[in-house]
Amino acid sequence: MKAAGNQKLQLKAAKSKVGCLSLSIITFVVLLLAFCVLLFFRYNTWFGNIEEAPYTTPPFIDRITLTPGENFMSERTVSWRFDTIPHESRVEYFRVDTLNTDTLLLNSAVIHEKIKSRAGDAYYYHARLPKLEEGAAYKYRIVSDKETTKWIDFKMPSSPDTLRFIYMGDVQDKQGFVSDSLFDLLRKKEVNYDFIAFGGDQIERPMDSYWTIWYESLREWAGQVPFVTVPGNHEYLKGITYRLDSRWIAQHNYPENGPEGFKGKSYYIDFPLMRMIILDSNTIHWPHAILKHYNWLEKTLKDARQPWVVVMFHHGVYTVRDGRMHPFMRYLFLPLLEKYKTDLVLQGHDHAYSRITTKISGDTITPVYVISNASPKFYRNGFNPIHDRLGSGISLYQKIQLTQDELTYKSLFFDGEVYDDLMIKRTREGEKKIIDNARNQAEVFNFDGFGDNPKGIKKKDAYLQAVKERKANRPEN
């Protein structure tokens, strides 16, 4: 009897095991099928690249770009593109000295390399200009065996005590008309800045035609004003091996002080008042890149001796576009930014506006996180109350000024109207106090890209309701 009972129990246990196994197999097959369906519909979004149209690099010097070296006060790099065959070249430059007509003409050695893209190739050149003097004006020109450019002017910062710069989030203008007119407004209005920073997605896709649009809208700026840029996802080729456009490093030649394997993409620049750390967040997906960047960022933040630290990357730690999230930036890199007391974090990607201050035990402190957009392309924002200040359907730029004890931050429309206004003050005890001058200013929600179909109309109604609720809870009321 007992043996028969045991047999029954064993049979029951075996049946249950088979049942569990079947359930696991069914779950696995269902998940696999769901993944295949998702892959089928999302393949192009995740892995597809628009084909790049064949192009021929012109046989003259173009795309002249000025960037800073590691030491902003004394180093500049000039990069340019020129032809599909190599040319003997050099950069001539001199300090403009109105008191001395016998100017010293300096020469800088040039490095060149052939860069291949998907649809063409070109020779890219660059020259480092070291030991430049504070407050001095310089002229330079590129001399080659075939062509000599006109003299181009640039100025070194006049004082180590004040630093002014402009920031722009995504520019990403397919046709270039909007960015050209916005840049033109800035060129006419803003004269007091030491450099311009761009938070990635300067162009629509990694294609030569879009780089042409980019350089056409920059006009003379590119060779005269130092640019500090970070790659965005639109400068990357999608695929299993996610690759930065081959032109990107060659046309900027940033300092090679980034993490091993990512030099020229992630880097830092030192100013007397600020360390600016530029991190290519596009690569923060795979363990190797995460580990390298994590260790490098920690060391670079820890070693900063300047009174202010600003970090720039493309993907926001707290996203503002509805439904978006970058878990590694949010849960791995944000704690580092907080731990080492970063002051300002400049981001893009979401094509809307957000400014967040850090709140701990009732205090409003740094880091301040900013997401901004200067593109004609807009996304719908979310309404998480963590955002101190939001905006949608608007193009803005930022003016940031630093002295030893104050960082002033303004977000402006390109016609000059102020949209956000913040000051970070260092107290005698070394604490940083935030003064929010835009607390009582109304927010702007102009996003209207919902479409006319019933689904779009429903989404629009929900969005307008969320705007209403946000306004009801704001101090401007």
| Chain residues in the site for Fe ion (CB under 5 A) | 170, 172, 201
Nearest to residue 75, comparing CAs of 303, 270, 275?
270
Q: For the CB of residue 172, give the shortest distance to Fe ion in the complex, in Å.
A: 5
**How far is it, in rounded angstroms, from Cα 371 to Cα 333?**
16
Instruction: Name 289's Cβ contacts closer than 8 Å, sequence gap at least 6.
Output: 261, 262, 283
Q: How far is the CB of 418 from Fe ion (least distance, A)?
A: 24
Residue 172 or 229 having the CB closest to Fe ion: 172
**Phi and psi torsions of 466, nearest 5°:** -65, -35
Report CA Rg, the chain: 26
In the bound state with Fe ion, the residue whose beta carbon lies nearer, of 65 and 282, is 282
Q: How far is the CB of 323 from Fe ion (least distance, A)?
A: 16
How near is the Cβ of 375 to Fe ion at its closest, in Å? Answer: 6
Order the strands of the 106-108 sheet from edge to edge: 106-108, 89-96, 137-144, 152-155
Nearer to Fe ion, 201 or 421 (CB): 201
Nearer to Fe ion, 172 or 411 (CB): 172
Q: Minimal distance in Å, beta carbon 409 to Fe ion?
A: 22
Closer to Fe ion by Cβ: residue 228 or 374: 374
Q: Is the peptide bond before 367 cis (omega within 30 degrees of 0)?
A: yes
DSSP state of 69: -
Closest residue to bound Fe ion by CB:
201
Residue 117 or 172: the one with the smaller Cβ distance to Fe ion is: 172
Nearest distance from C-beta of residue 352 to Fe ion, angstroms: 11
Nearer to Fe ion, 170 or 208 (CB): 170
Beta strands in 71-220 (DSSP E): 76-82, 89-96, 106-108, 111-116, 121-129, 137-144, 152-155, 163-168, 195-198
User: Which amino acid would we find at residue 162?
Assistant: T
**171 vs 249 by CB, closer to Fe ion:** 171
Beta carbon nearer to Fe ion, 253 or 354: 354
Chain-centre distance of CA 471, in angstroms? 30
Q: How far is the CB of 351 from Fe ion (least distance, A)?
A: 6
Structure tokens at 83: 């032809």
Which residue in the block uniquely carries the two structure tokens 């000025």? 66
**Smallest gap, in angstroms, from Cβ of residue 314 to Fe ion?**
8
Instruction: Give the 3-state secondary structure of residue 222.
Output: helix
Spell 119-129 as b/e; 16+ CB within 10 A means b.
eeebbbbbbbb
Extract the tokens encoding 168: 């722009």
Rounded to 5 degrees, what angle do the CA atoms 263, 268, 269 make? 130
Query: How many CB atoms within 10 Å of residue 167?
Result: 26
SS3 of 346, please?
A: strand
> What are 314's two structure tokens?
């493309």
